């Protein structure tokens, strides 16, 4: 058992955060490693179409542990993925100000309430 746990660094914070943005209940996963410093970088890791907030987690958290930055994994909404003629989880990537852009801005503000981040 000790062998399996050797080298594993427990996260200071690893939790799902619920947030109201644009009148909708949204969520993101917050990962803050033990070695996070003041004015830490904040990495926003967006999942792909039909993904979820857990999909990119292992790779990003291991790098966050090594480099000492905070990672957030927002959960996308169900959107019309017109190329595939279906609804799936994803992001409004229109390039315009929209609910998803405002959600990401709200996440940044939410994290900044508790941590010193490099904006």
pLDDT digit string, tens, across residues 46-74 = 875 555 555 555 556 788 888 899 999 99
CA distances from 50 to 15, 19, 26, 71, 105 (A): 22, 21, 16, 20, 22
For 10, residues 6+ apart whose C-beta sits below 8 A from its C-beta are 34
Q: Is the pLDDT at 11 greater than 60, yes or no? A: no
The DSSP bridge partners found for residue 94 are: none
**Angstrom distance (rounded) from CA 37 to CA 27:** 25
Q: What is the mean pLDDT of the chain?
A: 78
Token pair 């799936």 in the structure block, residue: 88
pLDDT (average), residues 27-45 = 92
- pLDDT above 90 covers a percentage of the chain that reads 42
Per-residue pLDDT, 35: 92
Cα–Cα distance for residue pair 72/74, rounded to 1 Å: 6
Long-range contacts of 54-58 (CB under 8 A, 24+ apart): 54/29, 57/29, 57/31
77-110 confidence digits (pLDDT tens)? 776 665 656 666 666 667 777 888 899 999 999 9
């Amino acid at each position: 058992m000790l062998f399996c746990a050797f080298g594993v660094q427990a996260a200071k914070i690893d939790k799902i955060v619920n947030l109201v943005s644009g009148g909708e209940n949204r969520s993101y996963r917050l990962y803050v490693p033990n070695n996070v410093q003041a004015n830490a970088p904040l990495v926003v890791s967006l999942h792909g179409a039909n993904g979820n907030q857990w999909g990119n987690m292992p790779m990003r958290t291991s790098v966050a542990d090594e480099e000492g930055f905070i990672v957030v994994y927002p959960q996308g909404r169900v959107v019309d993925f017109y190329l595939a003629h279906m609804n799936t989880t994803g992001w409004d990537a229109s390039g315009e100000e929209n609910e998803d852009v405002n959600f990401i801005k709200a996440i940044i503000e939410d994290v900044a309430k508790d941590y010193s981040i490099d904006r």
